[in-house]
A and B are shown apart, each in its own frame.
Chain A
């Protein structure tokens, strides 16, 4: 007889599946890169995923939950529960290094503890000015480079 432990995928395997699910609004980073997947565990035969929302009103939250379920179902996991965890609140410190590098390559300056972008993601100039505290999504602010004159998104540090 085969025990459930040997047939069900490992939590590392599940994390790997979620690491190729793109963020619905910033597709160059995965849900794991974003830091919203706080825990993956088996409770009996049910896979329980703990998710922390980024911003309370972020419209992507519902889509993220849907994408998690879809990714697990694609891989044959049928019984899934999603747990919302508000505390500790999600912070940009949870972004992975891979995610930060991908953001920059995509043209979005990654968050910095100092509160503003390190340099222009296009030309690397440090001659920068903030245009608006909010950008195209709740998690971003709008900045402009004073040298190449390109506006760019900055992933807000919270």
Chain B
């Protein structure tokens, strides 16, 4: 079975598979197609190639490992079940998988009581994170572009967007963080989103 070899090659290829587009993206798309045909070896390959990335994203939002473990399981079961519905025309495979992971993690975190502000680390510096090996390999134009547009937002709005997206903070928690009522946060978000959209020109 071709996909058996995929397991090994996916591991060898490691993080390069995570490129959002191009050959590596079509590799993931191929695996997803095999998974839709119920190929378990392809599933193992996809898991090997993507689980650390998805786990990192989920853990960052949920903060608690036992919760993150549970959500990761559900996410991969969903990927198995939904593979037949993946539509390459609608987005890159990794974007599809990240959306599944973030949506599950966010559903989970919104159901719980708000994470105490003491639990939340300082927002990490985007520039600093770009030092990460992943980014050195795939220091994408997209990230550079987005980063520029985030910097162009009013004062602390870049931090607001990052805290929301990566830490999964609700308006209430963001309100505590910035000492503003949630309604103010809402209007900040609104304005920042429109600015971002226009800056990115998509």
Whether A associates with B in a native complex is no
B interface with A by C-beta (< 8 Å): none
